[in-house]
Amino acid sequence: MNSFASPQTLTALPFPRPVDDLYSRVFDAILEQRLDTASRFTEESLAQMFNARRSDIRGVLTRLSHQQVIVLRANHRPRVAALDSEQTRQMLHARRLAEITLVRLACQSRLQDLKPLRNLIESERQCTARGAAIRLSGEFHLRLAQMAGNAPLAHFLGSLVPLTSLAIAQFEVGLEDYCVWHKHQAILEAVERGEAVKAENLLGQHLDHLEAMLLNAGPTLSQNCVVG
């Protein structure tokens, strides 16, 4: 059970598959800096830490490596990727180009059920855990992209949103500065009404704010955390 959502919200959300839940728990640990760029860990130590099978941990690490959150190299321990300001600037530029197009397309797909997105925003609103809040925020953008009906573009965005989440965590953007559920709600309302120009403007303002926060903050030094 996710501790950051109310029982009412949880009953409205689909129950996660065990591997998906493990992915969320590992990613949350990264976003909360319990696992950071200086952490030394192995599949075995993570399996013990998360009370999971080593094969499931391997699958999660592979998924995170595809998202460039984890670096996997032969004969080396896995490690959390370290982002710098230039990487983040380029990533945000690419994300803007993709996501503006996707939200425009989503406005044209007005027959889809928006209840899952509303439930997700409610989970964001109630969330108090930093890692989960950052991850849920990214999940909103990914689910909205899926509504657009352009799978390759949505897949491309899926490679950028987790990196954005990692940057927010590593640059130590305050949770109070990144409480954005109300912005997501406004974007979703514009999409629901098919107001493409308004949705694009709201999304652009949201990304402007995110870019200003990240590039003004810059990366911080990691804490050394040995997990095994």
- pTM across the whole model: 0.81
**Contacts of 202-205 spanning 24+ positions with Cβ under 8 A:** 203/99, 203/100, 203/103, 204/96, 204/100
Write out pLDDT tens, residues 126-180.
988 888 989 999 999 999 999 999 999 999 999 999 999 999 888 876 655 566 8
The answer on pLDDT for 222 being more than 60 is no
Q: For 52-86, write each residue's pLDDT tens digit.
A: 999 999 999 999 999 999 999 988 999 999 998 89
Q: What is the mean pLDDT of residues 186-191?
A: 95
- What is the distance between the alpha carbons of residues 28 and 45, in angstroms, rounded to a whole number? 17
| Burial category of 21 from C-beta neighbours within 10 Å (exposed 0-12, middle 13-18, buried 19 and up) | middle
* Full set of structural domains in the chain with CATH: 7-80 (1.10.10.10), 85-217 (1.20.120.530)
Minimal CA–CA distance to 31: which of 208, 196, 162, 209? 162
Residue 2 is predicted with a pLDDT of 37
Tokens read off for 86 = 């230039």
- Given pLDDT bands bounded at 50, 70 and 90, which one contains residue 107? very high
Residue 176, pLDDT score: 59
